[in-house]
Amino acid sequence: MRTRIESDGHRVTLTYTDRWDGEITRTFVAPSCGGYVREIWPGRNSDAQQVCEGLYSSGDTLESSTDTLLAVIRREWRRRRAAERRECV
């Protein structure tokens, strides 16, 4: 499956296939006026978690607005894939 990155204007959905976990769908949001990017975790009662560079859970926290969220997620997905290729993952 090819990677899909889609936006509805308020949130960005990233869908990809992981060799260990199969198809994965991740949903990201950001405040309209700008602020931290958060990932919505379906089925969890806690607040959405902040997302860091490379779409990881640790590191420098990403910031965006709804206007730039799609571009930020695309950039960070490319960054993550490049790092994984260097590490042969």
Q: Residue 20: inside a domain, yes or no?
A: yes
Q: Residue 89: inside a domain, yes or no?
A: no
pLDDT at 42: 75
Q: Residue 44: inside a domain, yes or no?
A: yes
Number of domains in the chain: 1
Q: b or e along 70-86 (b: 16 or more beta carbons within 10 Å of the residue's beta carbon)? A: bebbeebbeebeeeeee
pLDDT at 76 over 90: yes
Q: Residue 9: inside a domain, yes or no?
A: yes
pLDDT digits (tens, 9 = 90+) for 3-62: 999 999 999 999 999 878 889 999 999 999 999 999 998 776 567 899 999 999 999 999
Domain that holds residue 25: 4-83
Q: Residue 11: inside a domain, yes or no?
A: yes
Q: Residue 88: inside a domain, yes or no?
A: no
Q: Residue 49: inside a domain, yes or no?
A: yes
Instruction: Judge if pTM exceeds 0.95.
Output: no
pLDDT at 40: 92
Edge-to-edge strands of the sheet including 4-7? 4-7, 11-18, 22-29, 38-40, 49-50
Split at pLDDT 50, 70, 90, the class of 69 is very high
Q: Residue 15: inside a domain, yes or no?
A: yes
Question: Which carries the bigger pLDDT value, residue 79 or residue 18?
Answer: 79
